[in-house]
Amino acid sequence: MGHDAHWPTLSPSTTGLRGRCPRCGQGHLFDGFLSMRPSCEVCGLDYGFADPADGPAFFVICFACVPSVALAVLIEAIYQPPFWMHLFTSLPFLLLTCVLPLRPLKGWLLSSQYFDKAEHGKLDRNSGLRRDGP
């Protein structure tokens, strides 16, 4: 994940939210909706360092799903509409607020990992406490 001197430092928010390469800002991060490319087609940066895991889903659950479900419950409690009405109001709102943010959030997390030079944790066995007894 070497950061070469001839590449400018780009903000993770500008590159990640647009789904662009965190090093050059021109190549693409994604091959499909959420599937990653193996490397950048412009600068050749290997995306093997990046692993956002469940980060995008966590942020979407916290900031989009809870308010969307709360809105659906509020509509049900106040208006008590028939079930089919929720199919036209609550379900599209839930899908829009939960699916659409996944790609920009994943791109932002991937770009942040590159920007902050995040790596897998390493256990330093020599720095732990030593126990001499049984």
For 44-75, what is each residue's pLDDT tens digit? Answer: 999 988 888 899 999 998 998 888 999 999 99
Summarised one tens digit per residue, pLDDT across range 89-129 is 999 998 999 999 999 999 999 999 999 988 777 777 776 55
Structural element, H or E, at residue 59? helix 55-60
The one-character DSSP state at 30 is: B
- List residues bridging with 28 in a β-sheet: 20
Residue among 7, 3, 110 nearest 53 (CA)? 110
Model-level pTM?
A: 0.80
